[in-house]
Chain A
Amino acid sequence: MALKIVKGSIDRMFDKNLQDLVRGIRNHKEDEAKYISTCIDEIKQELKQDNIAVKANAVCKLTYLQMLGYDVSWAAFNIVEVMSSSKFTYKRIGYLAASQCFHESTDVIMLTTNQIRKDLSSPNQYDTGVALTGLSCFVTPDLARDLANDIMTLMSHTKPYIRKKAVLIMYKVFLKYPESLRPAFPRLKEKLEDPDPGVQSAAVNVICELARRNPKNYLSLAPLFFKLMTSSTNNWVLIKIIKLFGALTPLEPRLGKKLIEPLTNLIHSTSAMSLLYECVNTVIAVLISLSSGMPNHSASIQLCVQKLRILIEDSDQNLKYLGLLAMSKILKTHPKSVQSHKDLILQCLDDKDESIRLRALDLLYGMVSKKNLMEIVKKLMLHVDKAEGTTYRDELLTKIIDICSQSNYQYITNFEWYISILVELTRLEGTRHGHLIASQMLDVAIRVKAIRVFAVAQMATLLDNAHMLTGNTQRNGICEVLYAAAWICGEFSEHLENPMETLEAMLRPKVATLPGHIQAVYVQNAAKLFATVLKSQEGNTDSTTAQEASQLMIDRLPLFVQSANLEVQERASCILQLVKYIQKLQQKDVEVSEEVCALFAGELNPVAPKAQKKVPIPDGLDLDAWINEPPSESESEDEQPKAIFSKEEPKHSRPRHTEVDEKELARRREARKQEQANNPFYIKASPSSQKVYQETPGVEHIPVVQIDLSVPLKVPGLPMSDQYVKLEEERRQKERAEKKKKDKKKRKEKRSGRGKKHDSGPESEEDITPAHMVDIVTEEMPENALPSDDDERDPADPHKALDIDLDNLESAGKRPLADSEKLPVRSHRAAEVLKSPAEDEEGENVSSLEPKKKSSKEKREKKKDKDKDRKKSKEEKKKKKHKHEEKEEADLLCGQADEPAFQSEETNEVVTPPTSTSADVSDLDFWLSNAPVPSNTQEAATVAAAEAAPAPGAISVTTPDSEPEEPKDTEMEETKSSKHKKKKQKREKEDKEKKKKKKHHHHHHHHGDKGGEESVQNGTVEEEEPLPPMSNYCLLAENSYIKVAYDIQGNLQDGSQVVVSVIFENKCDSFLKSMEFNVLDSLNSKLQRPEGSGPHDSLTIPFQLPPGVSNEARFVFTVQSIIMPQKLKGTLTFIVKNEESSTHEKLDFKLHFTCTSYLITTPCYSDAFAKLLESGDLKSSSIRLEGVNMPFHHLLARICFHHHFSVVERIDSCASMYSRSIQGHHVCLLVKISSQTVSVDAKCDEPTLLGNVLDEIKQTFSQC
């Protein structure tokens, strides 16, 4: 055996290896191709051998040849063979070759799945690494689906080298197999805090890449990233995170506020220019997002612009480039700030570096105003003349057109000038953008009525000088403008000075060398001109001109009749016959002009690009419905006697039909399209005229007479745009002078009255009046067009599939992973039960199963860890919150409320839909709210008001609710006195909320005393009022050491489980430890205890509480019946330990399971809702709530939040709501409000449950 190997390798010695191949190629400079083809033959021979070493060597050489551009896909199978070698050396060669030349349509990839899986679970980390690297290059949807679970397991591999690769490759897997994102996301998130910096960096990388496409789904990760940003030292990671924040801030302005400080710190501390630049960039993004709300940030923007100016002025070209790049970001929102640096940017246009010039061009777009447009364009025109290289010149051309035409020609004051600019641009040699100029000409001529006379004259000259444009084959792109010229001359021929001449120009024989579509336009418009000529000669006794025109047409048109282009031919022969007939009539002296003109009568109006899409569908027209009865699916259906089926049958079958048929329809449509495409007589709909130009084949093949032009290209009679600049300047001066005169007059008049007005100062934007009466005809839209601007994303974008909501992945019961979402795990197939003969395969399966079991264990552990993490982060939040409290108190003392913060908060609150207020969102809110939360400020105000003018009488009169006064007072005292005391914030919030409500009553009453005015106002502004922050946590028990609050949520996955989240907060100065939680089980509800423990054992809480700290634990309860609320008695025991002593303490509590807590927020569509109500299975019940004094949307939000409902539909002061219990009961509500009386009509399939839920709703509102 060993001998064989040695022999094999001795053979191999004489094979060419990679170095030999390279050397050989270099030595055969002259006949490289021939040499390589012999090498390929050798390689083919080598691949046929059994020796894997020889094969690997051959594959290695192939990889090199692939780089040189040789197709090596024929060796794909051999590559797979080498990949499956057991030796790392060869495996690596194989995977490298595969990564270089495999792609999605390589069919042998199917064969690799098992091999890759084996390599992934190899004990050698480098085998795994090599497989992951290779897979990252050629992963297909199939591979992604089959291997997703294996890769996920690798994400928690012991070796960081594997972990980081596995994490990174997940992005590729997500792209190919989007379903894997949700199940893999928690683990990915976990890797953000991996101890190894490489793994962490990989995770950041992946999440940044994901978030770049769908930033809103990753907002909830902001706190985590923030922590990483302040703790990481890896510049690469920092850059990624900072870039990510740049993408997130526009979605969440409060985030920006938090970022500013650490970013500025980084800017000051870092030495890496790359990091510094990204920081500046994100600061800009933050300022932009902030300033959209508040105007006073423009100063900071100015500062940034100043800093960027320094970058742009730097001698380092890279910084100059980046400075311009960042500047363009500011430009979008703050064009004014950038405009002041026009000088600098124009200077950059002269830079020798094209990249920099292009960036400067981008900036110019936003710098123009009515005042400077002409000047800037003049400068650009100079550049156009100077520019070498068509790409840059074409770029200039498009930019000029972009700049001028932006926002509906907003900045153009003189359209004559613009037309002449366009005409000047036609002199550009070899530009690709002829059609762009043409469409501008058409657009301006059609939409600016006043310019038509001028435009027509210009176009006529252009037509007359057409040889200039078509003279050179290179310049074919530009002859597109003739299309526009001919059309404009024809359509607006009444403005032509000398139509006869233009007609002659349009019928020159050379026209026949133009592309077909242009000729067609020529012919058609020649006919229009002909009509005009006839009309102008009407009534003229001397009919020679008219006859000349007819003769001209008859002489010239036959040339076009012979055209190879069908369109030209058809039009020409049609018109020729027409003219011949007209000539006959003319000879008989019959007046024909009227009839001929009627051929082309009617005004053409521009149509908005999306007009067609926006035509509203008339009522009662269902475009998807069948016009006739759908053809039967199968013959057997036909045979069924129809009479047997009752009326219901079609109702049910219909929707199914359409669903099936949609596919069928699409197929037929496709078939029809195919048919039409093959049918030469079918006139295809041309989507836009521009496209047609591009697609026209054979432009190059049309023989064009070459004219050697040595004459300068100044066409006599063509306008020079420069003269307009001067003219315009003069005009403006004149205007100004006139204005001054007028002003003087006015002033004189006014002097007798008031004092004089302030000086008009330098000319402002608005002062410049356009030279012509410019009436831009607006583009036509269909009547009652839909306003929606549905610029949807490209459906082919692979990232669209990754737009998946990830927020509520972890919070229990929100939308956990459904079974169908779990990653496919490999298991024994049924066939293997029969003992498959291949034993090694069996063994392989077993080995691949083992790590899986392990992984599930790991998962469980990870879950615990995660819980801990979450708790930790909560702790931190609470600490922060505490600081806020102190701040509040300061505010309270000053009696000031932070108004701007309040406003921003307000808008935010309104935006977040109350139906989906998930725990995560509110967590993020807590994290983000640096400034006091609105309720706090309000509370402050309340307290202040209460102190200043206590009016207990008023309160008791207006608030007939049952809440006693005392608790409120104690609360107040607490907030004031216990400065260091940590309080459970969520609970506190609720209290505040209540108080706020009181305050409402209070205020209301006060105003009521003074006069009804303000109370009316109160009623009208209800929509703008912020939603008070809400929390479901309510107090469970409290003593001097500890405060315990809880919330109950149903578990969607298991109809008999609820999760109780309990927050423990240490109120004292001592250490709390050994906490044990126990509940006395009832028949119906039981606390789930770990296996092996008795039914009365208590659960140890897995954490200790240092002074002032709170933490959360979760307990799962099993419940049988959920239709009744119930209370469970329980005790919490703990040890209070301080320096001197430790005591054992006990706290009793009652855990209240409300019926509400069994409900789960479930969205429901209105049609499903209607069906549900119609079904008649539901029992109804109703309640009335009196004296509810809160806006309707608050009311709904409250029901949604506290009782887990979702709004199905809302019409004015009436809303339908829906919820579902964990055991699948439907609960439907119809809530109406009329003058403080709320009536709730409810339906549910379980009357007892419904009754209890309604009672609880009543309870909630009686508390306010």
Chain B
Amino acid sequence: MIKAILIFNNHGKPRLSKFYEHFNEDIEQQIIRETFHLVSKRDENVCNFLEGGMLIGGSDYKLIYRHYATLYFVFCVDSSESELGILDLIQVNSQVFVETLDKCFENVCELDLIFHVDKVHHILAEMVMGGMVLETNMNEIITQVDLQNKMEKSEAGIAGAPARAVSAVKNMNLPEMPRNINIGDISIKVPNLPSFK
């Protein structure tokens, strides 16, 4: 079982948090902070597994993470999950994010995740459900996500047009954003990933 999926950046700012077990908001934040603390102090070339931390709640749980450019993808899992399997899944995970979000944006970066956290959740829902892996086939996930997005568009119809226009206008100054903050739009495109097999 997967207990939680967390995505945060190099500064520990949460970009996505999905807990498959209930914690109240304060504890969730604490967990994110603690996990960030544990993960961030590790070197680049150490193993991707680590133990300890409150979230893990026992020797059965483990943190499995990957670090891509500015983002950490962390899965908290118990012993029924294969460690290397989850690492592969994170790879698929990031690829799917990239592929799906790619349709809307030319170059996916951390900012896209920030602004479209709801989309990211919807994508994740096609991959992991209630703490169990639902689908590992990337193409299948993308197909389903696309179909749902299409449905959303068709529902919006005429009524959605003005809203879309406004949001398009609003999004026009998006590319300026990176300058305001010190992250820079480093791509997490797949070819840059250290391939894992």
Residues of A whose CB lies within 8 Å of any CB of B are: 2, 5-6, 8-10, 12-13, 17-20, 22-23, 26-27, 53, 60, 63-64, 66-71, 87-89, 92-93, 96, 100, 103-104, 126, 130, 132-133, 136-137, 139, 161, 164-165, 168-169, 171-172, 197-198, 201-202, 205-206, 208-209, 212, 234-236, 239-240, 243, 271-274, 277-278, 317-318, 320-322, 352-356, 358, 391
B residues less than 8 Å from A104 (CB atoms): 22
Cβ–Cβ contact A13 & B134, under 8 A: no
Report which of B117, B133, B163, B181 forms a contact with A18, defined as CB distance below 8 A. B117
Tell me the bound Cα distance from A160 to B45 in angstroms.
41
Partner of A137, one of B17, B20, B47: B20
Quick one: given A26-B180, A26-B181, A236-B85, are A208 and B167 in contact (CB under 8 Å)? no
Complex Cα gap A1078–B76 (Å): 62
Q: How many B residues, CB 8 Å from partner?
A: 66
Is there contact, CB below 8 Å, between A171 and B130?
yes
CB distance from B20 to the nearest CB of A (A): 7
Q: With A205-B133, A206-B132 given, name 13 new contacts (CB 8 A).
A: A12-B163, A18-B117, A22-B115, A26-B180, A69-B29, A133-B130, A164-B134, A171-B132, A209-B80, A274-B83, A277-B83, A321-B49, A322-B84
Does B106 belong to the interface (CB within 8 Å)?
A: no
- Residues in B with CB closer than 8 Å to A277 are 82-84
Q: Do A6 and B156 touch (CB < 8 A)?
A: no
B152 neighbours in A (Cβ, 8 Å): 88-89, 92
Residue of A nearest to B157 (CB): A5
One digit per residue, 1 when the CB lies within 8 angstroms of any chain A CB and 0 when it does not, for chain B 149-177 equals 00110011011101100110011000001
Task: Give which listed residue, A67, A69, A92, A209, contacts B132 with CB less than 8 A.
Answer: A209
Task: Tell me if B40 is interfacial: C-beta within 8 Å of chain A.
Answer: no
B32 CB to nearest A CB, Å: 8
Instruction: Identify which of B1, B28, B52 contacts A209 (C-beta below 8 A).
Output: B1
Q: Show the binding face of B for A, using Cβ within 8 Å.
A: 1, 14, 16-18, 20, 22, 24-26, 28-29, 42-43, 45-52, 80, 82-85, 87-88, 114-115, 117-118, 121-122, 125, 129-137, 140, 144, 147-148, 151-152, 155-156, 158-160, 162-163, 166-167, 170-171, 177, 180-181, 197
Which among A8, A19, A352 is the interface contact of B171 at CB below 8 angstroms?
A19
30 contacts between A and B (CB under 8 A): A9-B163, A19-B167, A22-B115, A23-B115, A64-B118, A67-B17, A69-B25, A69-B26, A89-B151, A89-B155, A92-B148, A96-B118, A96-B125, A126-B148, A130-B125, A136-B129, A136-B131, A137-B130, A161-B144, A197-B137, A198-B140, A274-B84, A318-B47, A318-B84, A322-B84, A352-B43, A352-B46, A354-B42, A354-B50, A358-B52
Q: How far is the CB of B30 from chain A (nearest CB, A)?
A: 9
Q: What is the distance, in angstroms, from A315's C-beta to the closest C-beta of chain B? A: 9
Are B82 and A278 closer than 8 Å at their CB atoms? Answer: yes
Which of A2, A27, A168, A273 contacts B129 (CB under 8 A)? A168
Cβ B47 vs Cβ A126 within 8 A: no
A197 to B152, CA, bound (A): 27
Whether A19 lies near B87 (C-beta < 8 A) is no
Residues of A within 8 A of B129 (CB): 132-133, 136, 165, 168-169
Say whether, besides A272-B197, A274-B88, A321-B47, A88 and B163 are in contact (CB < 8 Å). no
Given A67-B17, A71-B25, A277-B82, A165 and B49 contact (CB-CB distance below 8 Å): no
Report yes or no: B171 in contact with A66, Cβ–Cβ below 8 A: no
Chain B residue nearest to A126 in the complex (CB)? B148
B16 to chain A, nearest CB (A): 7
Which A residues are CB-close (under 8 A) to B170?
19-20, 23
Q: How far is the CA of A315 from the CA of B121 in the complex (A)?
A: 36
B197 to chain A, nearest CB (A): 6
Residues of A contacting B144 in the complex (Cβ-Cβ under 8 angstroms): 161
B177 touching A26, Cβ below 8 Å: yes
* Residues in B whose Cβ lies below 8 Å from that of A20: 170
Contacts of B87 in A (CB 8 A): 274, 318
Residue of B nearest to A25 (CB): B114
Q: A201 contacts B136, CB within 8 Å?
A: yes
Q: Contact partner of A92 among B114, B122, B135, B136, CB < 8 A?
A: B122
Which residues of chain B come closer than 8 Å to A71, judged between CB atoms? 24-25
> Please, how many angstroms separate the alpha-carbon atoms of A197 and B156 in the complex?
34
A9 and B115 in contact, given A274-B85, A358-B51 (Cβ under 8 angstroms): no
Complex alpha-carbon distance, A234 and B22, angstroms: 31
Residues of A with C-beta under 8 A to B130: 133, 136-137, 139, 168-169, 171-172
Give Cα A70–Cα B46 distance, bound, in whole angstroms: 34
A5 B159 Cβ-Cβ under 8 A: yes
Question: Is A6 a contact of B158 with CB atoms below 8 Å?
Answer: yes
Among residues of B, the one whose C-beta sits closest to the C-beta of A198 is B135
B residues less than 8 Å from A198 (CB atoms)? 134-135, 137, 140
CB distance from A175 to the nearest CB of B (A): 10
B147→A126 contact, CB < 8 A = yes
> Does B132 lie within 8 Å of A236, measured CB to CB?
no
Inter-chain contacts of A161 with B (CB < 8 A)? 144
Minimum CB–CB distance from A246 to chain B (whole Å) comes to 11
Q: Is the CB of B151 within 8 A of A88?
A: yes
Looking at the assembled complex, report how far the CB atom of A785 sits from the nearest CB atom of chain B, in whole angstroms.
31
Contact yes or no, B125 A133, CB < 8 A: yes
How far, in whole Å, are A208 and B133 apart by their CA atoms in the complex?
12
Cα distance A104–B22 when bound, in Å?
8
- Is B49's CB under 8 angstroms from A355's CB? yes
Q: How far is the CB of A76 from chain B (nearest CB, A)?
A: 13
For the complex, give the distance between the alpha carbons of A208 and B162 in Å. Answer: 50
Which chain A residues lie closer than 8 Å to B135 at the CB level? 164, 198, 201
In the bound complex, what is the Cα–Cα distance between A322 and B47 (angstroms)?
9
Tell me the nearest residue of chain A to B46, going by C-beta: A353
Residues of B within 8 A of A130 (CB): 125
Measured CB to CB, the closest approach of chain A to B78, in angstroms, equals 9
**Chain B contacts of A10 at CB under 8 A?**
162
Which residues of A are found within 8 Å of B47, using beta-carbon distances?
Answer: 317-318, 320-321, 353, 355-356
B133 touches A236 (CB 8 A): yes
Q: Would A66 and B25 be within 8 Å (CB), given that A20-B170, A355-B51 are in contact? A: yes
- How far is A136 from B18 in the complex, measured between Cα atoms in Å? 13
Q: Which of B14, B48, B148 contacts A88 (CB under 8 A)?
A: B148
| A273–B167 CB distance below 8 A | no
Contacts of B83 in A (CB 8 A): 274, 277, 318, 321-322
Alpha-carbon distance between A27 and B29 when the two chains are bound, in angstroms: 22
Contact flag A165-B134 (CB < 8 Å), given A126-B147, A391-B52: yes
Q: Given A165-B129, A209-B132, A235-B85, is A103 in contact with B22 using a C-beta cutoff of 8 Å?
A: yes
Residues of B with C-beta under 8 A to A67:
14, 16-17, 117
**Contacts A6-B162, A169-B130; is A239 near B82 (CB within 8 Å)?**
yes
Q: Which residues of B contact A171 (CB under 8 A)?
A: 130, 132
B residues less than 8 Å from A23 (CB atoms): 115, 170, 177
Which A residues touch B42, using CB under 8 A? 353-354
Contact A60 B118 (CB under 8 A): yes
A358 proximity list for chain B (CB < 8 A): 51-52
Contact of B197 among A2, A64, A239, A271 (CB under 8 A): A271
Q: A353 to B50, alpha carbons, bound, how many Å?
A: 9
Closest beta carbon of chain B to A432's beta carbon, Å: 13
Instruction: Check B163–A19 contact: CB distance below 8 A.
Output: no
List the A side residues contacting B163 at CB < 8 Å: 9, 12-13, 17
CB neighbours (8 Å) of A87 from chain B are: 155
B51: A residues at CB distance < 8 A: 355, 358
- Residues of chain A lying within 8 A (CB to CB) of residue B181: 26
Q: In the complex, A1082→B22 CA distance in Å? A: 64
Whole-angstrom distance between the Cβ of B44 and the nearest chain A Cβ: 10
Top 3 nearest A-B pairs (CB, nearest first) are: A136-B130, A274-B84, A103-B22
A355/B46 contact (C-beta < 8 A), A6-B162, A96-B118, A271-B197 known: yes
**Cα(A544)–Cα(B29), bound, Å:** 66
Please state if B48 and A205 are interface contacts (CB–CB under 8 Å).
no
Find A17's partner among B24, B147, B155, B167 (CB 8 Å cutoff). B167
A87 to B156, CA, bound (A): 9
